[in-house]
Structure 1
Amino acid sequence: MARTDIRLIVKLRSTAGTGYTYVTRKNGRTDPDRLVLRKYDPIIRKHVDFREER
């Protein structure tokens, strides 16, 4: 029997256009919208918004 996970693996891509990504997990039931987190982009050495990519 396959186990269905509520927590989805999502890829976060930098809005600065550098192509840098983070991989994280989110609860698909409580947060169905796209995730936006402010994280560090080491390519430009600044904190920028990272948006969920589908």
Structure 2
Amino acid sequence: MAKKNVSLLVKLVSTATKKTATGEEKLTGCFYIKKRNPKKLTKKLEFKKYDPVVRKHVLFKEEKLK
């Protein structure tokens, strides 16, 4: 019998902001897709990864993948 794939795909979204032409700050919109095991991890994932929009390493937080 074949095993079921229990890993979930989650979206890691950048927490960095950039200024728009009107002066307000918005999120950059950069994201990564990552697999995670729901049985082992109970808290949300957080990674420090590269955001090409602001050209820095920033914190990426987990969101649901739609």
Q: TM range, normalised to the smaller chain? A: 0.7 to 0.9
Summarize deviations over 1:29-48 as a string: whole Å, max 9, x none: 10121100110000000000
Q: What SS does structure 1 have at the residue aligned with 2:9?
A: strand
Summarize deviations over 1:10-35 as a string: whole Å, max 9, x none: 00000002110000101111012110
Runs of 4+ in 1 over 3 A off after TM superposition: none
Q: Which amino acid aligns with 1:10?
A: V
Query: Whole-Å Cα distance in 1 between the matches of residues 55 and 4 of structure 2?
Result: 38
Query: Whole-Å Cα distance in 2 between the matches of residues 52 and 26 of structure 1?
Result: 10
**Aligned-residue RMSD, C-alpha:** 1.2
- Normalising to structure 2: TM-score of the pair? 0.72
Q: Which amino acid aligns with 1:29?
A: K
- Normalising to structure 1: TM-score of the pair? 0.86
Q: What SS does structure 1 have at the residue aligned with 2:60?
A: strand
Aligned length: 52
Runs (5+) with no aligned partner, structure 2: 17-26
Aligned residue for 2:63? 53
